[in-house]
Amino acid sequence: MKLWEKSVQVDKDIERYTIGRDREMDLYLAPFDVLGSMAHITMLESIGLLTRDELDILLAEMKQIYRDACEGRFVIEEGIEDVHSQVELILTRRLGDIGKKIHSGRSRNDQVLIDLKLYMRHEIEAIVKAVQGLFDMLQEQSERYRNVLMPGYTHLQVAMPSSFGLWFGAYAESLVDDLQVLQAAYRVVNRNPLGSAAGYGSSFPLRRQMTTDLLGFDSMAYNVVYAQMGRGKTERIVAQALGGIAATLAKLAFDACMFSSQNFGFIKLHDAFTTGSSIMPHKKNPDVFELTRAKCNKLQAVPEQIMMITNNLPSGYFRDLQIIKEVFLPTFDELKDILRMVTLMMEHITVNEHILDDPRYDLMFSVEEVNRLASEGMPFRDAYKKVGLDIEAGRFTPVKEVHHTHEGSIGNLCNAEIRALMDRVLEGFNFQKAHDAIAALVG
């Protein structure tokens, strides 16, 4: 069944090529397609294109389809082109001609747009919750190990004292900025394209503000041409925000691989979370973090793929946009899985609390000695030269204590301030507005 098919049947090879993986990808969108249709037909009744009885009958059937989609029972049958066709087919089978009325005033173009917007909105919330869980755990680890010193590095050379409090806390704060960017993407997502039809509006007196309110959007995408131009652009913006989270996790994964190696020995991974070798019986490999690094780098390439698909397209709809779904829709599940695994791994890390017993790290206290001498009145450059000459002559004896008190330093991690910043970012999403609207719609 094709919504556009008339008297001529399309060639089978053409059908296979043009449908591509749409039937597979559209299963991601099924619950959201139903929600968009429920809002649309509620609006159609308000302008006289459906009777109240027809609306009630349609909504009752759609609520059942929605439940089936949410619970994994919805399927797109062989020979059915996409999720929109399947929903309309189900309604027509069950209700007859009433099912054929739901498409008035819209196109598959704005149907897929609304599906994608609702899907992204839902999935962004799931990502935010997963990031929040990792953030909470990192802050707990930062507090737990706040007094355990470790070397800090520049150029991969031992540089100055750091701490596990700083290390865990740094990644927690990085996630705050990542969610700030994701919130900006969420605001781009949370605008209603329904009613733009094929990109040029409709002669029906559609009430676009009504569907905007029914679906809990912040506003509509006002200009109908721009509503269509937003496809591809919105996905790229969201993918860039997801890529920012992935970049933070990739860096953390690299640290974990390096710090758990025998040459560093700063942390130990839980034995149950490592893998072995088929030939070397002693091996405990950090495969989870290695795969995390690769998966995160792959996710960071998604915006570039979307850009290359859309880069040379003028305004209006083109079938090229279909391919974006294959690239983009699975990224949410991939990132959620990564976040779950990183949270699990980091929660069960064992920290080496005696790293500084090793004399190879003695020189990282040289700056502390320079600062001590400068505090006692010696000019900084003279203090720097004295400590440098002592090191060259083998006379330097480190004092393995630090007294950092400024904001964000070893002795003043500012974890409470970082948590307050995260709380403000989380509040800014205002997911509850969408929850309330969808709850009212599905009853």
> Residue 7's pLDDT is what?
55
State the DSSP string of 123-190.
HHHHHHHHHHHHHHHHHHHHHHTTT-EEEEEETTEEEEEEEHHHHHHHHHHHHHHHHHHHHHHHHHHS
> Residue 280's pLDDT is what?
80
> Residue 59's pLDDT is what?
97
> Residue 271's pLDDT is what?
83
Q: What tokens appear for 169 in the block?
A: 């806390």
> Residue 101's pLDDT is what?
94
**Second CATH level (architecture) for the domain 108-356+418-442:** Up-down Bundle (1.20)
> Residue 4's pLDDT is what?
45
274, 165, 300, 322: CA torsion to nearest 10: 90
- In this prediction the pTM is 0.93
Positions of the chain with pLDDT lower than 70, given as ranges: 1-8, 10-11, 18-19, 277
Distance CA 62, CA 87 (A): 8
Distance CA 253, CA 339 (A): 11
| Extended beta strands in 42-145, E state | none
How far is CA 155 from each of CA 144, 159, 363, 418, rounded to the nearest angstrom? 28, 9, 15, 27
So where are the chain's domains? 12-101, 108-356+418-442
Domain 12-101 fold is: Fumarase C; Chain B, domain 1 (1.10.275)
